[in-house]
Structure 1
Amino acid sequence: MLFDVHQLTAGYGGEDVIKDISLTVQEHEIFGIIGPNGSGKSTLLKCMYRGLETDSGSIEIDGRALLTYSNKDLAKKIAVLPQHTETTFSYTARQVVELGRYPHQSGWFNNTKIEDKRIVDKAMQETRVESFADLPMETLSGGEKQRVLLARALAQEPQILLLDEPTNHLDISHQMNLLNTLREWTSAGKITVVAILHDLNMAAMFCDRLMLLDEGRDAGTGKPGTVLKKDKIEEVYAASVNRKSPSCCS
């Protein structure tokens, strides 16, 4: 067990958004979080990287309480790709990716080491952003920015990658490339992924396990085939579902 969330409750302004959530994430798996808008997906993910204070419950990484990690030590464990990220200054794509090496350095003004450069280059190659490495971030499309931010997360060399709608802004080709890459990394034992996904077909194809959230509560956790039942999805999403791929969702 790598990530352990136990009876977690959290929200905003005194109103609970997620309620009594428990889950475990195993090493080198892709764990997907699904559910309709407003079901608490992003709130749960924020708690998992200490972006939101919890009201009750506990979170552990490698058997150690999340709250006991320093910010820098936590950044060596977890990299985050949030749904919305803006860069305040005019950085090039490469400079943004290089920021991912900060947790492994002793200060902001260290000279980039050869090993840091190798890791940054590799992250950029794997996310296919080398062609616009020297372009300012503000000149890039939404999909290109998303890939640069993913490269930055990979440059951290984390154990766990937390992704909030990672395929947002990406066309279908880049969506498939990204999810295939995540699958390759987890299969090779390089990383563990927790991802919020809206596309249920992609969740079924690429995730080892899923948690379905319904109004902040766990409506089902397990293998995609056990979670993505037609009647359950219709109930939670309040929409009619035509199942086209029995092999994924039966």
Structure 2
Amino acid sequence: MCEEHRPIEGSPDVAEVGTETDGRGGETVVALRDVGVHRHTNSQVILSGIDWTVRAGEHWALLGANGAGKTTLLRLLGALMHPTTGSVEVLGSRLGRVDVRELRARIGHVSTAQRVPQDLDVHGVVLTGHTGTVQPLWRKYDGEVRRRGHELLAELDIKELADRPYGVCSGGQRARVLIARALMAEPALLLLDEPFNALDLPSREDLVEAMQRLADSRPELATVTVTHHLEELSPAVGHTLLLREGRVLAQGPVDDTLTDSWMTGCFGRRITVVRHGGRWAAYSGSHLGS
């Protein structure tokens, strides 16, 4: 067994990957087959042998230590880069055989690193999701588009912020504004790159509740959320993919993957996972081998 495949003491054998789907058999939104990404400058392997399927209506958490390859994997799903090896199909289109600009318009992407004009009002920020631009293109936003922007703000429970400058909104409010912006294009796939970053407890809970409402109101929407904390997962998250050193350690329903042994194997520390009322928490003891 190669070094990068060797299971950590206390974790299941890496080959015993969890069940991939819960049997709902929804339409395939993402299909990765034997995907690898190598850094050309020094031949560093960032991702290797990734097989993964995301179906309509599924909500996935993407977990792994820093440097595990989460950001690179999310960039593949967002059609922001191409794999070095293997195939990536997103919304029925294979990367390398499709105009990625058109494909990106059908994918919602939320990141706290997104460039947003700080002095633009919240409703204007949401409208830019219609054109996929940083700055608003006002002539492109007719009455119907503007109405939809207000509806999305209401759906995310922030309609009172419509006229407030984005730059003075709190971190939790900004996160929900960016989700509303991403939903303007009616995406079938929503990618969330650490949307809870630096949020306080009330803001985190507001966002968790917002994600739960989205799952309830949009049954066909698939989401993938990158996070470092299980407490940030809404009860709607039903699947997990665990990455370790650029490889899939485990994937499948949360009941099979968010376990002490799999999380221990993923992060290299003895981790205890707790579930209560549909919410998750994790804490760690001493480092393995210490």
TM-score, normalising length: structure 2: 0.75
Report the equivalent of 2:239. Answer: 209
Residues 1:47 and 2:76 aligned together: yes
Report the equivalent of 1:91. Answer: 120
Report the equivalent of 1:200. Answer: 230
The answer (yes or no) to whether the contact 2:32–2:89 under 8 Å persists in 1 is yes
SS at match of 1:242: strand
Q: How many residues are treated as equivalent by the alignment? A: 246
- Structure 1 range deviating more: 156-165 or 169-178: 169-178
Report the equivalent of 1:143. Answer: 172
Give the alignment partner of residue 174 of structure 1, picking from 203, 206, 230: 203
Give the alignment partner of residue 7 of structure 1, picking from 34, 54, 79: 34
Distance 1:204 1:99 in 2: 27
Q: Which amino acid aligns with 1:6?
A: R
Report the equivalent of 1:127. Answer: 156
Offset, 1:95: 1.3
Cα distance, 1:142–1:118 mapped onto 2, change above 3 Å: same
Distance 1:112 1:10 in 2: 39
- List structure 1 runs of 4+ shifted beyond 4 angstroms: 246-249
- Structure 1 range deviating more: 82-91 or 214-223: 82-91
Q: Which amino acid aligns with 1:53?
A: H
SS at match of 1:207: coil
TM-score, normalising length: structure 1: 0.86
Residues 1:226 and 2:283 aligned together: no
Distance 1:6 1:111 in 2: 38
SS at match of 1:25: strand
Distance 1:187 1:16 in 2: 39
Report the equivalent of 1:160. Answer: 189
Report the equivalent of 2:13. Answer: none
- Structure 1 range deviating more: 116-125 or 238-247: 238-247
Return 5+ residue gaps in structure 1 as ranges: none
Report the equivalent of 2:147. Answer: 118
SS at match of 1:235: helix
Distance 1:27 1:214 in 2: 26
Deviations 1:164-211 (A, max 9, x none): 112223333333333333333334424111111222244484311110
Offset, 1:45: 0.1
Offset, 1:82: 2.2
Cα distance, 1:214–1:247 mapped onto 2, change above 3 Å: farther
The answer (yes or no) to whether the contact 1:182–1:193 under 8 Å persists in 2 is no
Higher helix share: 1
Give the alignment partner of residue 21 of structure 1, picking from 45, 50, 53: 50
Identity of aligned residues (%): 24
CA RMSD of aligned residues (A): 2.6
Deviations 1:131-156 (A, max 9, x none): 33223222233332222211111122
The answer (yes or no) to whether the contact 2:122–2:162 under 8 Å persists in 1 is yes
The answer (yes or no) to whether the contact 1:75–1:158 under 8 Å persists in 2 is no
Report the equivalent of 2:15. Answer: none
Cα distance, 1:67–1:180 mapped onto 2, change above 3 Å: farther
Cα distance, 1:246–1:119 mapped onto 2, change above 3 Å: closer
Q: Which amino acid aligns with 2:239?
A: R
Report the equivalent of 1:239. Answer: 269
Offset, 1:71: 4.5
Larger gyration radius, structure 1 or structure 2: 2
Q: Which amino acid aligns with 2:77?
A: M
- Structure 1 range deviating more: 215-224 or 146-155: 146-155
SS at match of 1:2: strand
